[in-house]
Amino acid sequence: MTAVTSSPATASSITLTSGQLPRWIEPVLAVGTAAVVAAVLLVLQLFNPAVWLVLTAVFYLLAIGIGAGIVEGRRKAVDRVVRGLVVCAFILAVAPLISTLWTVVAQGLKVLTWDFVTKVGGSVFDPNTLAVTNTPGALQAVVGTLIITGIAAVISVPIGILAAVYLTEYAQPSNPMRRVITFLVDVMTGIPSIVAGLFAFSLFALIVGPKAFSGFSASIALCVLMIPIVIRSTEEMIRLVPNELREASLALGVPRATTIIKVVLRTAASGIVTGVVLAVARVVGETAPIFIAASFTDNFNADPFSGPMQTLPVMAYTSWAFPGKDIEASQAQAWGAALLLVIVVVIFNLIARIVAKAFAPKSR
Amino acid sequence: MTDVAQTGGATAAPTDKLVGKRRAGDGFFLGLSTTAAASIMVILAGVAIFLILKGLPAITANWETNHDLAGYQNKNWGSFWNYVAPLLWGSLWSSLIALVLGAPVAIGIALFISHYAPRKLAGPLAYVVDLLAAVPSIVFGLWGVIVMRPFLTPLAQFLNEYLGWIPLFRGPVSSTGSTMLAGGVVLAVMILPIITALTREIFLQTPRLNEEAALALGATRWEMIRLAVFPYARSGMISAILLGLGRALGETMAIALIISPSILFSFAVLTDGYNSQTIAGNIANNFPIATDMQRSALIGTGLMLFVVSLAVNMLARGIIGRSTNRTRKAPKIGKRA
């Protein structure tokens, strides 16, 4: 009896619904905080985009945390604060990306003209007037980049694709060689790029002698970095080819090798090409290995087998780190080379996307 | 019976007929792809062998008496190990700073993409982060020099003024900003994409049932992540961070451009000249002007970098390998229960 009489009393103190903030609270509060912080900073004349963003984030997180803590309870408050933190993390990553691209474009456009791409740059010393004239130009670096990356691709792509074929089509999962090679490919993706450059230099120093700098040596260094990337992406693409296609081909009496070339690789072709182009885009921006293996020069050198060769990333580095007499001009050269390099990378990425879109298998 | 034996040939057993003739092209292609796969081992072994061959003269040389090595970089080292130890410390220290700054942000981004962002936006957002990986390191280096250095200088002064009693933040504060802090921040930006990409993959593989079970018990989204996602992804997160460490260890150009260091053991992150130098940065700065013996010393330091990053990568892959073996078995248990 006493239990029955006491139950209505407890029921009235427990509510089944808890306080809840409206759904729109988070975006509205974020915008509100941003506006208030901006207003305060402008009044105090301390406005600075970075300070503004940081203060907005801090005040937003405090406000949502305390507000939700009062209305909704501790657990919900923590949830909302974490959501805010996670969004902040994303913005924190996008900010340097935008800032970097903006800086490169803004600085690079000052020097990037058609002449910059088509003329060999450098400084010329005139003994009569004792004046050093700087001509902006990056043709030597553009040519060097294309030659070195091209040779690297020609060597790495067949090796990478064939190795991927071996790993996916021939070797059984239990095959110890497959397990070892898969592991080594993983490890190889982590080789520091400068070590690849030192390897190529050591190799050619032992073969050719102390003056071992050459474009071909740099290509070998890039191969060390490129082969594992090609293997990884090709493997992934071959795995996507449905087994029925292989079985159908083999059942018709087509030899194994022909099945792989004409059915498996043919089906995966667009994906493989995309992977290869992305791998090229990755190594084209490598600075350290080329700097070690091919050194640097201001002269035009299109022969990959003799003498130092200039490339865009190395030009950007050396013009900045070892400037000539006219520091401004050297730094402008560096930015021009950097912007050209970014453009090259963007072009390769676009090609990869177009290939992936245009030549994707049209089934299903 | 006799007919079969005759057509099958005197030597071959009748069952051999089903196997058929081996085609020359088949064997050739198999040989070709096996060779390509085996070349991976050759290349990796080659990297180690040639670095050892070229680096050994300096590693074994007497650094007191050798003409090129005595007083190299204005210091008497005594031996190769005395030379490489502070450099190795610099590499580890800068990578550690990058990890401390970068890893939490990277994991936050991965969570945002996998569990917070609207499904439709997840793909494009992931692509934006992957774009960070596409930017060449030299561009980040130049950006660090002209944007990040001045940007961080006020912060450095603030930290030194109020927290200067911690050895980490001791002065004198660099006026140019060529500090370990700036280098670490740029390194952190550069290792973001790799850690994000790997942890995102693992977060997405969390069994849906575990997540839904947590939500059904009334967990908020963050509690669900803590209860279901993190325990599942722990080993993957650790190996992703280790792979990020491996990337940071080998990063050259950003460090070479931004930090103005000297070869010593130092915790300081706000000074220039009293920072530690990294192996990669040291090679980039000194390789072009080095003599043959000095190059050998630099290649020796490169060999040490190779060994350390190989160890870090193997450790990371080992952890991933163990966790994928475990998760492959997990669904079976789930089905039975």
A320, B142 Cβ separation under 8 angstroms: yes
- The reported pLDDT for the residue numbered B2 is 40
What proportion of chain B, given as a percentage, has pLDDT over 70? 89
For A195, half-sphere exposure in the C-beta direction (CA atoms, 13 angstrom radius) is 33
Q: In chain A, what are the domain boundaries?
A: 19-108, 131-358
Pick the more confident residue, A211 or A28.
A28
d(CA A215, CA A54): 46
Token representation of residue B146: 């002209």
- Which of residues A211 and A88 earns the better pLDDT score? A88
Residue range B250-254: mean pLDDT, rounded: 87
CA of A184 vs chain B CAs: smallest distance (Å): 7
CATH number at residue B235: 1.10.3720.10
- The number of helix segments (H) and strand segments (E) in chain A equals 15, 2
Q: Does B111 touch chain A (CB under 8 A)?
A: yes
Spatial separation of the C-alpha atoms in residues B44 and B24, rounded to whole Å? 31
Taking the Cβ of residue B220 and every Cβ of chain A, the question of whether any pair is shorter than 8 Å is answered with yes
| SS3 per-residue string spanning B135-192 | CCHHHHHHHHHHHHHHHHHHHHHHHHHHHCCCHHHCCCCCCCCCCHHHHHHHHHHHHH
Q: What percent of chain B has pLDDT over 90?
A: 43
Q: Does A131-358 carry CATH code 3.30.70.980? A: no
Here the tokens at position A120 are 């060999």
The highest-confidence range among A5-19, A209-223, A314-328, B43-57, by mean pLDDT, is B43-57
Reported as a pLDDT band with limits 50, 70 and 90, residue A122 is low
Size of interface A-B (CB pairs under 8 A): 276
Q: Is the sign of the CA dihedral A306, A307, A312, A317 positive or negative? A: positive
State the helix-helix crossing angle for B80-111 and B24-60, rounded to 10 degrees: 130
Residue of A nearest to B311 (CA): A187
Q: Give yes or no for residue B70 having a pLDDT over 90.
A: no
Q: Does B135 touch chain A (CB under 8 A)?
A: yes
pLDDT 10s digits, B303-319: 999 999 999 998 988 88
Distance from CA of A322 to the nearest CA of B (A): 10
Which pLDDT value is given to residue A6? 47
* Domain contains B109: yes
Q: With 60 as the cut, is the pLDDT of residue B18 above it?
A: no
CA triple A210-A216-A219, angle to 5 deg: 120
Statement: residue B331 has pLDDT above 50: no
Rg (CA), chain A: 30
**How near does any CA of chain A get to the CA of B117, in Å?**
9
Question: Which of A:195-214 have CB within 8 Å of B?
Answer: 195-196, 198-199, 201-203, 205-206, 210
Please give the Cα distance from B12 to B10 (Å, whole number): 6
Residue A345's closest chain B neighbor by CA? Answer: B134
Rounded to a whole number of angstroms, the distance from the CA of B25 to the nearest CA of chain A is 7
pLDDT tens by residue, A300-312: 888 888 888 889 9
DSSP string, B55-94: HHHHHHS-TTT-TTTTTGGGS--SSHHHHHHHHHHHHHHH
Structural domain boundaries enclosing B184: 80-336
Q: Which of B34, B36, B112 sits opposite A87 (nearest CB)?
A: B112
Torsion of CA A220, B141, A210, B46, to 10 degrees: -40
Neighbour count for residue A251 (Cβ, 10 Å) = 8
Cβ–Cβ under 8 Å, residues B320 and B239: yes
Provide, as residue numbers in chain B, all residues whose Cβ is less than 8 Å from the Cβ of A349.
Answer: 134
**A-contacting residues in B 2-21 (Cβ below 8 Å):** none
Average the pLDDT over each of A196-205, A258-267, B182-191, B287-296 and give the range with the smallest value. Answer: B287-296
Structural domain count of chain B: 1
Report helix, strand or coil for A125.
Answer: strand
Chain A residue numbers touching B128 (CB-CB < 8 A): 94, 97
Query: How much helix, strand and coil, in percent to the nearest 5, is found in chain A?
Result: 75, 5, 25
- Token pair for A168: 């996916």
Q: Which of the two residues, B26 and A4, has the higher pLDDT score? A: B26
Does residue A316 belong to the interface with chain B, where contact is any CB pair within 8 Å?
yes
A57 to chain B: which residues are within 8 Å by CB? none
Indicate whether B257 belongs to any domain.
Answer: yes
Query: What's B262's DSSP letter?
Result: B
- Residues B75 and A249: their CA atoms lie apart, in Å, by 69
* Alpha-carbon gap: A153 to the closest alpha carbon of chain B (Å): 15
Give the span between the Cα atoms of B29 and B8, in whole angstroms.
28
pLDDT in tens, B133-187: 889 999 999 999 999 888 888 888 888 888 888 878 877 888 888 888 899 999 9
DSSP code string of A186-212: HHHTTS-HHHHHHHHHHHHHHHH-S--
Strand partners, A134: A123
CB contact under 8 A, B50 and A76: no
Chain A's closest residue to B141, CA to CA, is A317
Q: A1 to chain B nearest CA, in Å?
A: 34
Q: Which of A30-39, A203-212, B106-115, B301-310 has the lowest mean pLDDT?
A: A203-212
Taking CA–CA distances from A187, the nearest residue in chain B reads B313
Q: What is the DSSP letter of A308?
A: -
- Chain-chain contact of B109 with A96 (C-beta, under 8 angstroms): no
In this predicted model, what pLDDT tens digit does every residue of B278-301 receive, in sequence order?
A: 999 999 988 888 888 889 999 999
b/e map A93-126, b = 16+ CB within 10 Å = bbebbebbbebbeebbeebbeeebeebbbbeeee
* Nearest residue of chain A to residue B54 (CA atoms): A202
Structure tokens at A172: 């059984």
User: Looking at the domain assignment, is residue B7 inside a domain?
Assistant: no
Q: Which of B25, B104, B140 lies closest to A255 in CB terms?
A: B25
B177 — alpha (psi -120 to 50), left (phi > 0) or beta?
A: left
A282 touches chain B (CB under 8 A): yes
Q: Please, which residues bridge with residue A132 across strands?
A: A125
Q: Which residue has the tokens 């070797």?
A: A171
Q: Does B242 score more than 70 pLDDT?
A: yes
Q: What residues contact A46, with CB distance under 8 A and at least 6 apart?
A: none
The SS3 of residue B119 is: helix
Average pLDDT, chain B: 84
For the segment A70-88, the average pLDDT, to the nearest whole number, is 89
- The pLDDT assigned to B325 comes to 58
The yes-or-no verdict on residue B4 having pLDDT over 60 is: no
Please indicate whether, in this complex, the C-beta atoms of B128 and A342 are within 8 angstroms of each other. Answer: no
A58: Cβ contacts below 8 Å, ≥ 6 apart: none
